[in-house]
Amino acid sequence: MEISIKPNPACASQEARNQILAAPGFGKFFTDHMVSATWSQGRGWHDAQVMPYGPIAMDPASAVLHYAQEIFEGLKAYRHADGSVWSFRPQANALRFNRSAARLAMPEVPEALFLDSIRELVKIDAAWVPGGGENSMYLRPFMFASEAFLGVRPANEYKFMVIASPVGAYFSGGVKPVKIWLSSNYARAAFGGTGAAKCGGNYAAGLLAQMEASERGCEQVCFVDATEHKWIEELGGMNLYFVFKDGTLVTPPTKGTILEGITRGSLLALAGEQGLKPVERAISVDEWRSGVSSGAITEVFACGTAAVITPVGKLVWEGGSVGDEKMGEITLRLRNALLDIQYGRAPDKHGWMSKLC
């Protein structure tokens, strides 16, 4: 499908843009353009366009506002030393987007439309891709039910959109170990639920647990399985990894309740090159506690596109905690290995990088 281009007649001035790019933060500022396409029953996808970034008019009866039929993706555009701009495994995001769409009873977005949208947006807003350090442009494709109808059924009309935000490092203070709150009052996902889909509803359901974490001085929440309250699943928006003294790198299996992170998958593929043995297996809260205490587990980290790899310092629960504030050596090594590929400083042996402009 052709994406028509409607350039913004009132782009931000170079001074205004440079001021933002000097200290972008995370997800606070948006570029001059966005992508929008519409799907309706009968017509399928149509009206794909790059257009000026701005508010969208919505009918107050739009189904998404009532029944939360919404999914999203998150990926980044990285500026390499020669000035070119690249994305990391965008096809994997397109595939996952459509798995999420299927779970939420939404239409699929053709892979070409998903990938072309990203490319066109990055091309027209290339001046917004910051260089240097861990700066990048965060891309947020999303889809929502736009039909004005209060009956409960999959909607007959959807919008697919992509917006872009220049970003710096996710944690502004640099890489430092985070404290994780073990949620025992709330579950994130259950068998048969939407845990494996990247949908806004999962995040909404996790916010109260996140507040509980903040009250305990923790930055993130660790969710356990909803049945036995025993097995480690993931954080609100990041997957977890455990480094064992014997050289194994363990992450919980996805099994329908965990979001299949692209960072998680990439680390499974990279582990061998780093002399580690990747293993997907269930790991219990008890094993985390006793493993850290005995020294069998030497490092714990979280991973996701936004923050790359973040060391987990402490696991905190009602009445106790385990771990220290040290930054693991293997965590740092894996982090740099991934960043080196993304920023074009290391050879792309897996064919993960895709040039945008």
Chain positions contacting ligand PLP, by CB under 6 A: 74, 198, 234, 237-239, 259, 261-264, 304-305
Q: CB of 181 within 8 A of CB of 212?
A: yes
How far apart are CB 93 and ligand PLP at their closest, in Å?
7
Beta carbon nearer to ligand PLP, 94 or 124: 94
Closest CA to 129 of 93, 90, 164, 91: 164
How far separated are the first and last CA of the chain, in Å rounded? 20
Q: Look up residue 286 and give its two tokens.
A: 């008890």
Beta carbon nearer to ligand PLP, 146 or 220: 220
How far apart are CB 312 and ligand PLP at their closest, in Å?
14
How far apart are CB 306 and ligand PLP at their closest, in Å?
7
Beta carbon nearer to ligand PLP, 90 or 107: 90
How far apart are CB 91 and ligand PLP at their closest, in Å?
12
Beta carbon nearer to ligand PLP, 40 or 103: 103
How far apart are CB 274 and ligand PLP at their closest, in Å?
18
Beta carbon nearer to ligand PLP, 124 or 197: 197
